[in-house]
Amino acid sequence: MTDPPLPPVGQPLPGVLHAERGRVTRDGNFALACWHAETDTLPRVVGQHGDPDRVALVLPIGVASNDGETARVEVRLWTEPPEPAERRYRSDGGGIEVLNRSILAREVRRGSPLRGEPAVLDARRHNVDLDRAVTDAGDGTTFYRLAVADLRRDALVHYTISATTPMVDVAATCSFTLRASIPEFTAQDVRAVQLPAAGSTVPELRHWTALYTRRDGLDHVRVDFLSTIVPGQESARPAVRIAVGETEIDVGADRNEAEAGEHVLLPLLDRQRDSVLVSVPVPPDHGLPEVRVLAPAGDPQPDDVRVDLAAAPPQPVWLMIVNYCIQGLNDLFDLPLDDPYPRPRTYTALTMRDERGTWSSRPGSGEDGDPDGYALTFEGHRYFGIPSMWAFNAAVLTMIAHDCSDDLEQIQADVTQRGTVVPVNAGFGAHRTPYYTARTNLEEIRRGRDAIAAFLPGAPSEGLAVYYPDQRLYGGTPQEYQVYADNGELVRYLVLDRASLCHSTGDDVQQRFFPAGAPDFPGNRLLHDPRSGARILPIEDAVREAMVGGSNDEAERGKAARRLREVLLLGLRRNAIDRGSPVLLVYGDDADKASGNGWFDGDYSGRPVHFNDKYQATLCWLRDHPWVRVVTVADRDVAAAQPVPLSADLASATCPSVDPQGGSEHDRYGNLLHFDSWEQRWAATRSPWLGTTLGQLSAEVERALVNWPPQAAGFALTPDPELVDLAWLTFLGLHHEMMWNKEPLEGGFVNRRLGVIAPEDFVVAASLQLRNAHVYLAAAVWAGWAMDTDHSRTYLNEGKLIEQLRAAGVGGRDALHWDHDLLPTDILYNRDVLAVLDRNGGRITHLFAADRGRRRAICVSGTPKAYQWTGPAPGRPEPDWLTCDGGVLENTVCTPNHLYIACDLQQSLPIAGRRLEERPRQPSPRDWLYPDTFNEYEATLDAGQRLVHYRYGPPVGPNRPQLVDDAAFHAACVADRAGKAAPQAGAATGVVWHDGPDFSKTIRLDGSRLDIHYQQAPAGHVVANEFCLDVRAAMTRGEFQGRSNPDDRSVRLSGPGGVHVTVTARSGCELTRSAQLPDLEAAEAAGISAEWLRYHRVLTDAVPITSAAGGDFRYTVDVGFTA
């Protein structure tokens, strides 16, 4: 027996067709179905641009054909009040579009749903369910969409959807009615907030707030639920019943029970907002309708909740967002990344915006391709209109101003025009206050405020009086609370953690003020510490953890994490009960976390985390929920609010990630604060080359600053205050996040384990270079001498300046070790110029100029930028980038950020070696870069001729091992220290790792000109000359130098205050190709933009000179001031 022949294509199959609501059967079997207003096809009303009285209605439609056919879909639509004619739409050219993957990918970039772009998020979030349905649709299932434009706002819209196919000529039909309303609600429209009782089986639907407004003859009721997506029932409409007057809507009802032609009244269900909107006509008597939220079917709480529309609204929950945005002055990349971006990106540019996810700066973490960067976070706040507070330190603003000036302009507009950014003070460098003197803490806070005011003019004064200490650390020491108490204009507010606020109950015993948070929120108010007088903005753990703690599904939908939504609803309920000061929930954490960059970048967790997408989803959700008010200290009512006083003096506070119980329990090292254990480990870390500890190095510099000026007998000069200021900036800037340890924070209860290991590499590197602050102090003495000197004689390592330094005990041993390391500095100076030369590399590390007409001195070369870097390894393929960081940065070494003047680049290259990594779960040993620590030049001094003669000579001491590792480097440091303890006049001693032909150079100072003459240089020799005009103005006000090329042999740099420097190739040499180009645009035209940016860095411009033939060559550096 054979099957009967099929009918011709396009003709119905035999059998009896029967139509029901939304479906057609053939001989009792499914043949065709169409559906609408299910979770994958929810209707949506949107505003019509340019006309507030008109709206558009978006109607998704699903159709399934048992025969695998594409249906013809038709929609008939009419309204009340009636339009002139009924509207009809068809899928075969009549306005209804067929959806497929390519259409949705084009509209919302389906190929990468989480992209860190707020506009894409805002568009996509309404299509998540539809998009997934289209993507997952099987054969025979097709989705359609109709956008009905130009409807009267608030019209009652009736429409019928029908679908047929060639083989099913009986239509599957369903009909609906909805109100085309998009009412706006405010915090004043909140009428009730409900919490689930114990035992509720569906807490998502029993935890809600109701809003009510009346507009143009309609009553609008919106109920915001904890979630309209119930676990285990994700594809179902929520079992919610809402009654408004005579209208009762069962959102989750089975609509198949309705007749085929019956128009089912639809509410507007929004699964992204987790809300249900019901809009009905105002009663004839204009009274308030009765509103009830009925228990879901099956819930053991049978009582319905009546909403009192006449009730006064509770105060909204106050949410304060504080992003901690700090950096060291760390221009990390040797060479900017030029792949995959059209214009190479520096470290700062990539930190601001890495939309293709190409770089992770977290140690040991590879990139995961997730877009990240501060700019994405700023843009999210702008787009969604959510105000925030940003705690900046000086370095991050300096780097943004230099490398990303357009972004800085946008941030300035955020501050003064949009109101989305209120800057607050992280301190100049961002340090931990318990471990410094009161004077140092005051300088840190004051200078931080001043830097923010300079970079972001118009910043609200209320914000500048907020201090956010690093890690929210407070030790209850006099050097903290006395500074806060005596400087209320600087520290009106402190950002600390609610859960760790402790008071003392006896010797070395503390208790937490507020061990519990929700649902009573006892510590979630604006607080006041009686001892310091500061108001406390208490960060809430639950908010800090949940702000970026949502699921990927929540992020795609533009929703805050469920835990955050729950906490905010609990806070609103508390406001409704107390009717007093509102609950204040503070989010405070690293801006890197919100932005997905820095420490929170990469694949360290084993999977993409999408921090920035989740943060932006939270902003989106906050915009749409008026019962949460995002506040800042610049809001008048916040500034005027009466704080709740603590019941005792604040004794300590800390980051709960390190001390979960705050100071209420000792760690395994016997300290109440685990940070004390980190500080002790840092302070005890030794420098094998200097022969001292990091703690001693730091204390020596801090004592010199705090006790300045010298009071020694015989000291009769007045040091220049701006150069003393630069010494302070150096110390504070390099103390950025000092004492940080490599101990992992993952796993919790950090203070309950013996896990302290080595300090972070960047901490060790900065600690070793703190001693350069001494150079600026000694230079300040020179400036005091120069202003009143009536002759132009040039000195070398002698004269009244050196005598005064010796009398004051300034300038290191014999006043000729200005940077306080093992090698002497050679001091060339007159009343116009001071050059500080270092025998490691035979180069000028610092250059100062005196503007005697204005009685001021400035530093024009030699900055306190960070020393660590990452970049191509010499002799390896270019993609192979290595890092130089940590304890290998002994001595005054050459780095990409410290190219000095007369710096021989080839002879200063780092060496690729191996280094142990103490950090757990990281590869060890690792390939590492070792800088030119053992690069001492032989020195011959000629004071009469005002010159220093340096010779790059043969190696000295133990030979450099074939593979440099920790042990070899440590041994060389010890041997070099021992050798330099017995110096020989002019000769290199200890350990010198030279490899190459001998050559020499002579550096002469004649008036305001440096004359640099090379002899027997190798062919192709390249010399770097780095400048910053002037360092203090650049670091504190973002006033950077400009550059020009008067001719192909000169580069002229011009800085603030009329200072200028001209580098001229005189004989036997020339400017390198990049040095001949005045700007990045010219470098791009020449195809060498990455090379140009290598020498045009944050704060500095380096001018390379090259001699193709080698031998003898000469160039000059002229310093002057324009009147």
Residue linked to tokens 């114990």: 198
Strands, DSSP E only, in 821-965?
Answer: 825-829, 833-838, 843-851, 856-861, 869-872, 881-884, 901-904, 911-915, 926-930, 938-942, 947-952
Confidence band, pLDDT 50/70/90 cuts, at residue 1:
very low
Q: Are residues 304 and 323 in the same domain?
A: no
- Per-residue CA distances from 596 to 359, 369, 374, 658, 821 (Å): 11, 11, 8, 21, 39
Mean pLDDT over each residue of the chain, to the nearest integer: 93
What would the pLDDT profile of 1035-1053 be if each residue is shown by its tens digit? 999 999 999 999 999 999 9
Q: How many CB atoms are closer than 10 A to CB 962? A: 7
d(CA 1106, CA 1117): 15
Confidence band, pLDDT 50/70/90 cuts, at residue 52:
very high
pLDDT (0 to 100) of residue 355: 87
d(CA 606, CA 101): 29
**What values do phi and psi take at 936, rounded to 5?**
-70, 135
Structure tokens at 757: 């290991």
- Per-residue CA distances from 463 to 326, 393, 629 (Å): 16, 13, 18
Q: Which of 1046, 1100, 1054, 1042 is nearest to 1071 (CA)?
A: 1046
pLDDT (0 to 100) of residue 112: 44
Q: Are residues 357 and 501 in the same domain?
A: yes
pLDDT at 186 over 70: yes
User: Span 764-789, mean pLDDT?
Assistant: 97
**What values do phi and psi take at 826, rounded to 5?**
-100, 125
pLDDT (0 to 100) of residue 199: 72
Which CATH number is 59's domain given? 2.60.40.10
pLDDT at 435 over 70: yes
Span of 27-36, 975-984, 1086-1095 with lowest mean pLDDT:
975-984
Q: Which residue has the higher pLDDT, 198 or 425?
A: 425
Confidence band, pLDDT 50/70/90 cuts, at residue 102:
low
Q: How many CB atoms are closer than 10 A to CB 232? A: 5
Handedness of CA 369, 375, 378, 380 (dihedral sign): negative
DSSP 345: B
Q: Is residue 437 part of a domain?
A: yes
pLDDT at 169 over 50: yes
pLDDT at 899 over 70: yes
pLDDT (0 to 100) of residue 40: 96
Q: Are residues 817 and 722 in the same domain?
A: yes
The torsion of the CA quartet 454, 455, 457, 463, rounded to 10 degrees, works out to -90
Structure tokens at 149: 């434009």
Q: Are residues 366 and 234 in the same domain?
A: no
pLDDT (0 to 100) of residue 775: 98
Q: Which residue has the higher pLDDT, 579 or 743?
A: 743
Q: Contact 334/870 with Cβ under 8 angstroms?
A: yes
**What values do phi and psi take at 430, rounded to 5?**
80, 85
Residue at a domain's end among 799, 830, 852? 852
Beta-bridge partner residues of 882: 871
DSSP 418: I
pLDDT (0 to 100) of residue 6: 46
pLDDT at 109 over 50: no
pLDDT (0 to 100) of residue 114: 53
User: Span 74-80, mean pLDDT?
Assistant: 98
Cα Rg of the chain (Å, integer): 35
pLDDT at 7 over 60: no
Q: Which of 252, 253, 91, 255 is nearest to 171 (CA)?
A: 91
Confidence band, pLDDT 50/70/90 cuts, at residue 876:
confident
Domain that holds residue 812: 693-740+766-852
d(CA 568, CA 712): 62
Confidence band, pLDDT 50/70/90 cuts, at residue 297:
low
Q: How many CB atoms are closer than 10 A to CB 49? A: 8
Q: Are residues 308 and 323 in the same domain?
A: no
Q: Is 273 helix (H, G, I), strand (E, B) or coil?
A: coil
Q: Contact 101/137 with Cβ under 8 angstroms?
A: no
d(CA 942, CA 795): 10
Angle CA(391)–CA(395)–CA(399) in degrees, nearest 5? Answer: 110
Structure tokens at 801: 């300046």
Which CATH number is 534's domain given? 3.20.110.10
Q: Is residue 865 part of a domain?
A: no
- Per-residue CA distances from 200 to 204, 297, 476 (Å): 9, 12, 45
d(CA 345, CA 350): 6
Confidence band, pLDDT 50/70/90 cuts, at residue 604:
low
Residue 784 burial class via C-beta count within 10 angstroms: exposed 0-12, middle 13-18, buried 19 and up: buried
pLDDT at 2 over 60: no
Beta-bridge partner residues of 1003: 948, 1012
Q: Which of 341, 329, 353, 347 is nearest to 881 (CA)?
A: 347
Residue linked to tokens 């060890």: 924
DSSP 741: B
Q: Contact 907/877 with Cβ under 8 angstroms?
A: no
User: Span 859-869, mean pLDDT?
Assistant: 97
Confidence band, pLDDT 50/70/90 cuts, at residue 666:
very high
- Per-residue CA distances from 172 to 65, 161, 168, 471 (Å): 11, 8, 9, 63
Q: Contact 577/591 with Cβ under 8 angstroms?
A: no
Span of 234-248, 637-651, 723-737, 971-985 with lowest mean pLDDT:
971-985
pLDDT (0 to 100) of residue 371: 85
The torsion of the CA quartet 254, 257, 258, 261, rounded to 10 degrees, works out to 120
Residue at a domain's end among 150, 179, 208? 179
pLDDT at 106 over 70: no
pLDDT (0 to 100) of residue 105: 55
Q: Is residue 33 part of a domain?
A: yes
d(CA 573, CA 583): 10
Q: Contact 1005/1116 with Cβ under 8 angstroms?
A: no
Q: Half-sphere exposure (CA, 13 Å, Cβ side) for 431?
A: 30
Q: Are residues 33 and 109 in the same domain?
A: yes
Q: Is residue 518 part of a domain?
A: yes
Please list the alpha-helical segments (H only) found in 583-689. Answer: 591-595, 611-623, 636-640, 674-684
DSSP 1082: H
Beta-bridge partner residues of 270: 275
Q: Which residue has the higher pLDDT, 1049 or 923?
A: 1049
Q: What is the largest CA-CA distance in the chain?
A: 124
Residue at a domain's end among 852, 883, 906? 852
Q: Contact 275/188 with Cβ under 8 angstroms?
A: no
Q: For the chain, what is the domain count?
A: 4
Q: Are residues 611 and 481 in the same domain?
A: yes
Q: Are residues 225 and 161 in the same domain?
A: no
What would the pLDDT profile of 544-586 be if each residue is shown by its tens digit? 999 999 999 999 999 999 999 999 999 999 999 988 889 999 9
User: Span 465-470, mean pLDDT?
Assistant: 98
Confidence band, pLDDT 50/70/90 cuts, at residue 111:
very low
Q: Is residue 525 part of a domain?
A: yes
Q: Which of 400, 538, 522, 525 is nearest to 468 (CA)?
A: 538
Q: Contact 543/593 with Cβ under 8 angstroms?
A: no
pLDDT at 119 over 70: yes
d(CA 426, CA 456): 14
Q: Which of 406, 325, 382 is nearest to 600 (CA)?
A: 325
Beta-bridge partner residues of 796: 828
Helix, strand counts (H, E) of the chain: 27, 57
Q: Which residue has the higher pLDDT, 102 or 1100?
A: 1100
d(CA 713, CA 540): 55
d(CA 1101, CA 854): 25
Quote the percentage of the chain above a pLDDT of 90: 84
What would the pLDDT profile of 275-293 be if each residue is shown by its tens digit? 999 999 999 999 999 999 9
Q: Contact 299/206 with Cβ under 8 angstroms?
A: yes
**What values do phi and psi take at 786, rounded to 5?**
-65, -35
Q: Are residues 603 and 584 in the same domain?
A: yes
Confidence band, pLDDT 50/70/90 cuts, at residue 13:
confident
Confidence band, pLDDT 50/70/90 cuts, at residue 603:
low
User: Span 1060-1064, mean pLDDT?
Assistant: 98
Q: Is residue 255 part of a domain?
A: no
Q: Are residues 224 and 307 in the same domain?
A: yes
Q: Is residue 429 part of a domain?
A: yes
Q: Is 301 helix (H, G, I), strand (E, B) or coil?
A: coil
Q: Is residue 494 part of a domain?
A: yes
d(CA 992, CA 175): 89
The one-letter amino acid code at 211 reads L
pLDDT at 4 over 60: no
Q: Is 82 helix (H, G, I), strand (E, B) or coil?
A: coil
d(CA 214, CA 206): 25
pLDDT (0 to 100) of residue 1092: 96
Q: Are residues 842 and 804 in the same domain?
A: yes
Angle CA(757)–CA(760)–CA(764) in degrees, nearest 5? Answer: 110
User: Span 655-684, mean pLDDT?
Assistant: 95
Q: Are residues 570 and 518 in the same domain?
A: yes
